[in-house]
Structure formats: C-alpha cells, structure tokens
Chains A and B, each alone.
Chain A
Amino acid sequence: MVALVIALALFFDFTNGFHDTANAMATPSATGAIKPKNAVALAAVLNLVGAFLSTEVAKTISGGIIREGEGGIQITPVMIFAGLLGAVIWNLITWLLGLPSSSSHALFGGLIGAAVVGAGYGAVDYSVLMSKVILPAFIAPAIALSVAFLATRLAYSITRRHGQEGDKLPRRRGGFRYAQIFSSSLVALAHGTNDAQKTMGVITLVLISGGFQAVGTGPVFWVVAACAVAIAAGTYAGGWRIIRTMGTGLTDVKPAQGFAAETSTAAAILTSTQLGMALSTTQVASGSVIGSGLGRKGAEVRWGTARRIAGGWLLTLPAAAVMGAAAAFTASTGPVGVTIDGVLGLAIILFIFLWSRRNRVGHDNAVSNIDNAGAAVRINKRKARSRGRAAAGRSAATTTTTKAKESSK
C-alpha cells in the first residue's frame, strides 16, 4: 500500500510539473524569447534546483484544511491514495482540454473528498478552506490582472517614441525578450520550491503513518530527490496543450507584454509567499496574461477561452473532491476496493493518454509561427509577422474549442 501511494504521489508530481510548465514558459515561448524546447528544459532544470532548495512547505501539506493529527482525524494511507487518484485524474482531464488549472487545488480537492468519505464532514476545516483556497482563487487573478494591465500600459507608454515630425522612431521593444527569460525563470524556480514540496509532504506523511519514519521528522533525502526528478521530468515533458492556451489562446503576446505579465506573476508569487499566503501560480499567471492583453492597444483578449479557464478553476476543487470521494468509497471496502481503484485509475489514465494522441500538441506545433521570431528584432517586418501570428493564434484557439466540444459530447 505504502509503495503504491508513493508511486502515485510521484506520478502526481509529474502531472503537476507538466501542468505548470505553462505558467512560467508560455509567454516567452509565444514571443519567441526562447525556443519552446529550450524553455521547457530551462524550466525543468529550475524546478529540479528549486525542489532541493527548501522543505518548509512540505511539513504542512494540507495547509490545515484537513484536521489531522491530535484531536483531529487519523489520515490513513488509503485516504491519501484515494485523494491522489482524484487529483491525478482531474489534472489529466484539464490537461487534455488545455486548461491551466491549479494542481494544488486538485490535490486539496482530492484529499478533502477522501477525508470526508473516510472520516465525515467534520474532517474538513471549512474556514481554512474558505480563506486559503476559495477566496484566493478570486483574488489572485484579480490582483495579477490589474497589475499586469498597469505594467503593460507603463511599458508601452515609456517605450513609445516619436520623432519631431510625429513619425514613429524605432522602439526596439525586442529588448524585452531578454528580460522575459529572467522573469519567467524566477517563476519556474519559485514553482519548484513550492510544488515539489507538496508531494514530498504527501510521501512523508505516508511513510510516517506506515511506521517507516519517525513522527515529526522532515522528508528524507531520497524522497526529496525522487520528487525533484519527477517534477523536472514532468516539466520537461511539457504540457504543450496548456502552453498553447496560455501563450496564444488568451491573447497574442508581444515581448513587452510578456515581460510585464511575467514580472507581475513573479512579484505576486514572491510577495504572497513571503507573507505566508500562497497564491496559486496558475491563477496568477493566467490573470497576468489577460491583464497584459487588456493593456496593449490593439490586442484582443479572447474571453471565450478565459471563461473556459475560469470554469475549470471553479470545477477543480469539487471535481477532484468527488473523484477522491468515489475512490475513497471504493477503497474503504478493503483490498479488493483498492485494487479496483488502482485498475480503474490506470485505465482512465491510459484512456486519456490514448485520446490525447488523436491530435498531438508538441513543442513543434504548440506555438506556431515563431520559428523566425528569434531574429525578430528587425522592426520593418514586424507588422506582417504579428498579423500572421494573430491569425495562427485564432486558429489555435478555435481548434482547442472544438476539441473541448468534442470531448464534452
């Protein structure tokens, strides 16, 4: 049982990595600041490094949402197994739809569902749930959106140049590309330090409850290493569907916008983490991209895509909770139930994977039209190119929508 949970936890870590590559690397890939393949490689390395940096978060994995420990309920490996299963399946479904949804919310949702089934409604601390998960889900995108909007405005008004006769002078906004690499690297590093730790926390919890590790000790080295490798591998595998949604589906991102968006994301995440109120990286990043789209004149925000993403957020917690609860209910019947859970989960994972093969989204087609953008600091061709990119973005957006329709049937 313990080994099974550890394997599942590592797989969750993997999905977490490839789900969240987009947060850091979607905009720099979309503007051609860095080639998509290099972008995910960079993000993978930063996640790997980030995972080793800190184990602070790992100590409180459920963040107090579930009343565990003394005076509360006893969390069993079966509960964790069911919760993880719910989280993994929801993560894969949203990835298939190309929706950037919060992996932490999926994990919380799954654990909540499993805990409610295993120990009743009293197992969940609803005020913590409200103030740590539900409220931030509205506030994080709002903050990111307005900050990115203002930052984009600022960037464009500062770099706007006119000659004496009112003719346009070269702005050389391509310079923002270099900055994008740094700002998005910060996001990737922060992601590694936070998200890999959740899995470390889960595994440590299981090891402790299974009696393999002393109570009150932190993650042991092999757990840290395994989590770091899993999240890095997931990041490198790249959730190209989500990168496409974030990079071209919401709005057409230009270097200055991308830089403004990534800087807002990095600032919001660092600030909130410092003040002990972690905002979801995914929600902050999506909000920033929309805000930067509103901030640039002539950029349109595709609200249809934004609505689908917001719908995904609202569903994440309850949907993962329902799946976690179903898995916990099945598992509570004993070893047979756990086996059924495992087989069913594996079947769903395989099915989603096979389904995704029907229209593959990879590094080569996630953001089209960028192959020549690396040399794009030349100004004269810019108009034509951005028109091409806009068209490509629109067609990409339509394919994702039709795909969503197909699968909802």
Chain B
Amino acid sequence: MSIDWVAYLIVAGITLLSTLVVVGLYSTGVRLSAAASDRDPGQAAGNRLTLAKAGAYACFTVCGAAVLFGIYLIVPALHG
C-alpha cells in the first residue's frame, strides 16, 4: 500500500502558514488598536495614534479577506 506522506506534509505546511499569517495579522491588529486606545498618549503622539488605528483596521480587513477566501473555498459553485 502506498501512503502519500508528501500530501500530509503539504497539508501541515499550508495549514501552519495560513494559520500563523491570519493569527499574526489579527494579533497585530489587536495590539495596534490597544495602542491606539491608550489614554495619555504624550505629546506629538497624535499622528502615531491615527497611524496605529489605520494599521489596526488594515490588519482586520486582511483577516476579513481571509475569511471571504475561506468561504470561496467552501462553496464549490464559486470555483468550479
């Protein structure tokens, strides 16, 4: 009997990569939004606050796109 070990490795690899990317991005988003919501930002930090907020939203958006991609994969009608 032949067992396709390479297929398992590929599954493990892709799973690891995609999970780490999504979790990493979302965590970055959480961290940035936490930074943005700090009280008493000190002087001249206003710009950085906006930047952090924008970064957080960017991260969340990419994660949302990942969810949409997941739905795309689940629904066979979308990719034939």
**Binary CB contact string for chain B from 1 to 43 against chain A (1 if under 8 A, 0 otherwise):** 1011001101110111011101110111111011101100000
How many chain B residues touch A (CB < 8 A): the figure is: 38
**Which residues between 26 and 71 of chain B lie within 8 Å of chain A, taking CB atoms?**
26-31, 33-35, 37-38, 63-64, 67, 70-71
Q: Which of B1, B22, B23 has the most CB of A within 10 A?
A: B23
Choose from A144, A151, A161, A267 the contact partner of B34 (Cβ within 8 Å): A161
The answer, yes or no, to whether A263 is at the interface (CB within 8 Å) is yes
Q: What secondary structure prevails in chain A residues at the interface with B?
A: helix
Smallest CB-CB separation from B10: which chain A residue?
A: A275
**Chain A residues, Cβ within 8 Å of B27:** 154-155, 158-159, 256
CB pair A143–B74 under 8 Å, yes or no, is no
Q: How far is the CA of A183 from the CA of B10 in the complex (A)?
A: 22
**Chain B residues, Cβ within 8 Å of A56:** 76
**Which residues between 43 and 86 of chain A lie within 8 Å of chain B, taking CB atoms?**
50, 53-54, 56
Given contact pairs A139-B8, A154-B27, A277-B11, a sample of 9 additional A-B residue pairs in the complex whose CB atoms are under 8 Å apart: A130-B3, A135-B3, A143-B15, A147-B19, A147-B20, A158-B31, A170-B38, A267-B15, A271-B18
Known pairs A53-B76, A260-B23; A182 contacts B16 (CB<8 A): no
Q: How far is the CA of A76 from the CA of B26 in the complex (A)?
A: 51
Cβ contacts A to B, 11 pairs, < 8 Å: A53-B77, A148-B19, A154-B24, A154-B27, A161-B31, A172-B34, A173-B30, A193-B74, A268-B19, A273-B73, A277-B4
**Chain A residues, Cβ within 8 Å of B64:** 182
The answer, yes or no, to whether A266 is at the interface (CB within 8 Å) is yes
Smallest CB-CB separation from B78: which chain A residue?
A: A53
Please give the distance in Å from B25's CB to the nearest CB on chain A: 9
**Binary CB contact string for chain A from 239 to 275 against chain B (1 if under 8 A, 0 otherwise):** 0000000000000000010011001101110111111
Known pairs A151-B23, A169-B34; A266 contacts B76 (CB<8 A): no
CB pair B74–A151 under 8 Å, yes or no, is no
Q: How far is the CA of A273 from the CA of B79 in the complex (A)?
A: 14
Known pairs A169-B38, A172-B37; A151 contacts B30 (CB<8 A): no
Q: How far is the CA of A175 from the CA of B4 in the complex (A)?
A: 40
**Chain B residues, Cβ within 8 Å of A131:** 1, 3-4
CB pair B19–A263 under 8 Å, yes or no, is yes
The answer, yes or no, to whether A150 is at the interface (CB within 8 Å) is yes
Q: How far is the CA of A401 from the CA of B10 in the complex (A)?
A: 38
CB pair A271–B11 under 8 Å, yes or no, is yes
**Chain B residues, Cβ within 8 Å of A53:** 74-77
CB pair A143–B34 under 8 Å, yes or no, is no
**Chain A residues, Cβ within 8 Å of B16:** 143, 146-147, 150
Q: How far is the CA of A173 from the CA of B7 in the complex (A)?
A: 35
Going nearest first, the 7 A-B pairs with the smallest beta carbon separation are A127-B1, A158-B27, A172-B34, A151-B23, A175-B30, A268-B15, A155-B27
